[in-house]
Chains A and B, each alone.
Chain A
Amino acid sequence: AQSVAQPEDQVNVAEGNPLTVKCTYSVSGNPYLFWYVQYPNRGLQFLLKYITGDNLVKGSYGFEAEFNKSQTSVHLKKPSALVSDSALYFCAVRATGANNLFFGTGTRLTVIP
């Protein structure tokens, strides 16, 4: 079975400060991990994916993700938050050899000017 947990429904951060959006997962075998962002009345936009290799993966809009195998986590990070980063962020997992993505319930990020 595959599952994803995003433990924080809401994250608030001041503009210019670093941000972290947390995600833990459960999957059999090696995971494929994805982060998406959703703006109001829009679909999900792909930010980045972790497949294998370096534990720090760089993505779009200055975002990066830190993969930790022992903690089964892949936290989304950005060194300096922008007000325009305010949106809903989803983590998703797919097991190697499987075809379907399983999504978390999302974390709403608010960047305060």
Chain B
Amino acid sequence: EAGVVQSPRYKIIEKKQPVAFWCNPISGHNTLYWYRQNLGQGPELLIRYENEEAVDDSQLPKDRFSAERLKGVDSTLKIQPAELGDSAVYLCASSLDRDYGRTQYFGPGTRLLVL
């Protein structure tokens, strides 16, 4: 079974430029999460989708961040414009509702460097 797929793996951009990250969850997983992981820290949730609906986006900086999950499968996270402080690893995870405990499975992440 394929795991969570993310692309690109690395991205270097200049500040004020836009950037987008793509995630394809494990097949059949209805819940998708985007996290940001700063250096030396644990992941912090940005947004959670149940199917195509964003059910928790309270930690998403909505002035510059946006996300979508069309058709309830893959998802895109966008930053426009990027700031220096956005440099981090962006992780995507997915889980299955009927899994007891709703274990989250993570992709390899996209490492973003904003110059």
Residues of A within 8 A of B (CB): 4, 32, 34, 36, 41-46, 49, 51, 90, 92, 94, 99-101, 103-106
Contacts and interface: CB of A to CB of B under 8 A. Distances in A.
A63 to B, nearest CB: 15
B40 A43 contact: no
Chain B binding surface SS class: loop
A34 B106 CA distance: 13
B19 interface: no
Interface of B: 4, 6, 40-45, 48, 55-56, 91, 93, 100-109, 111
A21 B44 CA distance: 21
B111 A101 contact: no
A103 B43 contact: yes
B108 A34 contact: no
Given A41-B111, A43-B91, A43-B108, A106 B40 contact: yes
The interface centre, meaning the residue of B42, B44, B100, B107 with most chain A CB atoms within 10 A of its CB, is B42
